[in-house]
Structure 1
């Protein structure tokens, strides 16, 4: 029981960090795109 709980908790944490990383990358790419649009 504890092992499965740790497994699900680990999956939840890794998924959360992955989505946060993807969101951060999306924000950065959007910011870069806006910057390029204003420069060009």
Structure 2
């Protein structure tokens, strides 16, 4: 994963709920090959 993506995700975690972040990641996964986090 790119450092930019990691920074963006950390920012989202700070400003949004985990559910919103999960929805964002899921939406991104539909358009890109991203492995979902299984935590």
Range of TM-score over shorter length = 0.3 to 0.5
Q: TM-score, normalised by structure 2?
A: 0.38
Structure number, greater radius of gyration:
1
Relative contact order, higher structure (CA 8 A, sep 6+): 2
Q: TM-score, normalised by structure 1?
A: 0.38
Higher-helix-fraction structure:
1
